[in-house]
């Protein structure tokens, strides 16, 4: 039992490192070759994890081999458009100028109901609002609404909003984010004073942030 326990930990760490090296894509954004490799890695890890008689390296070596294969394919994708189309395919327009392309749906084995589901996922319940719907190689559907249906933005009124910048976490669960303090050009003394305005001590704070406009937010831990 103890051997199985430690083998599971080792394989988990190996798989975690391999998946980390493969990138930060979400499952829904994986290309077909990435999804295939991910499934194979999971299968390869389970065999030596449960079968004590099989050497652990019999699982680790194939996993590393798949990582190398993934890196090679990724490099080829970056270098060649033709290879990228062969491996990943090309986006396909499912709704063109407001009209559903039935031929495109059949080629992609996509039903109208599935298309409606994807549109609802984009916050659109009425097909009449869509100018273009593009099926991406990852399986996601990108939607371009008709001009009169698009959300109003400040640019439509010739309004230029102030630059906001990125918010920074300064305290998380009582721990001070020294790196972020340096980025904004502040120090611990300044941070302590800001927190004390709320009646707290830094170690009592659950989260403290500051945005690009200098607005400070602070919440105490329960």
Q: What pLDDT does residue 101 have?
A: 94
User: SS3 letters for the chain?
Assistant: CHHHHHHHHHHHHHHHHHHHHHCCCCHHHCCHHHHHHHHHHHHHHHHHHHCCCCCCHHHHHHHHHHHHHHHHHHHHHHHCHHHHHHHHCCCEEEEECCEECHHHHHHCCCCHHHHHHHHHHCCCCCHHHEEEEEECCCCCEEEEECHHHCCCCHHHHCCCCCCCCCCEEEEECCEECHHHHHHCCCCHHHHHHHHHCCCCCHHHEEEEEECCCCCEEEEECC
Q: What pLDDT does residue 63 have?
A: 85
Q: What pLDDT does residue 183 have?
A: 92
Q: What pLDDT does residue 150 have?
A: 83
Domain residue ranges in the chain: 2-86, 92-149, 168-220
Q: What is the pTM of this model?
A: 0.63
Let me know if the fold of 92-149 is the same as that of 168-220: yes
Q: What pLDDT does residue 24 have?
A: 59
Q: What pLDDT does residue 27 have?
A: 53
pLDDT digits (tens, 9 = 90+) for 139-161: 889 999 998 888 888 887 888 87
Q: What pLDDT does residue 129 have?
A: 92
The CATH code for residues 168-220 is 3.30.240.20
Q: What pLDDT does residue 1 have?
A: 61
Q: What pLDDT does residue 151 have?
A: 83
Positions of the chain with pLDDT under 50: none
Q: What pLDDT does residue 134 have?
A: 95
Superfamily name and number for 92-149: bsu07140 like domains (3.30.240.20)
């Amino acid at each position: 039992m103890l051997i199985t326990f430690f083998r599971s930990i080792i394989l988990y760490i190996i798989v975690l490192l391999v998946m980390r090296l493969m990138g930060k894509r979400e499952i829904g954004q994986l290309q077909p070759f990435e999804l295939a490799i991910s499934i194979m890695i999971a299968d390869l890890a389970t065999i030596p994890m449960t079968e004590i008689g099989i050497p652990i390296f019999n699982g680790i070596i194939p996993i590393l081999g798949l990582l190398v294969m993934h890196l090679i394919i990724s490099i080829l994708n970056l270098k060649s458009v033709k290879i990228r189309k062969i491996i990943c395919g090309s986006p396909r327009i499912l709704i063109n100028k407001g009209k559903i392309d039935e031929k495109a749906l059949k080629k992609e084995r996509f039903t109208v109901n599935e298309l409606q589901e994807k549109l609802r996922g984009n916050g659109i319940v009425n097909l009449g609002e869509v100018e273009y719907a593009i099926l991406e190689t990852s399986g996601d559907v990108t939607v371009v609404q008709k001009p009169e249906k698009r959300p109003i933005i400040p640019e439509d009124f010739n309004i230029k909003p102030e630059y906001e910048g990125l918010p920074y976490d300064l305290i998380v669960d009582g721990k001070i984010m020294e790196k972020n303090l340096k980025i904004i050009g502040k120090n611990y003394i300044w941070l302590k004073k800001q927190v004390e305005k709320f009646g707290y001590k830094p170690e009592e704070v659950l989260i403290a942030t500051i945005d690009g406009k200098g607005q400070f937010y602070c919440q105490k831990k329960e």
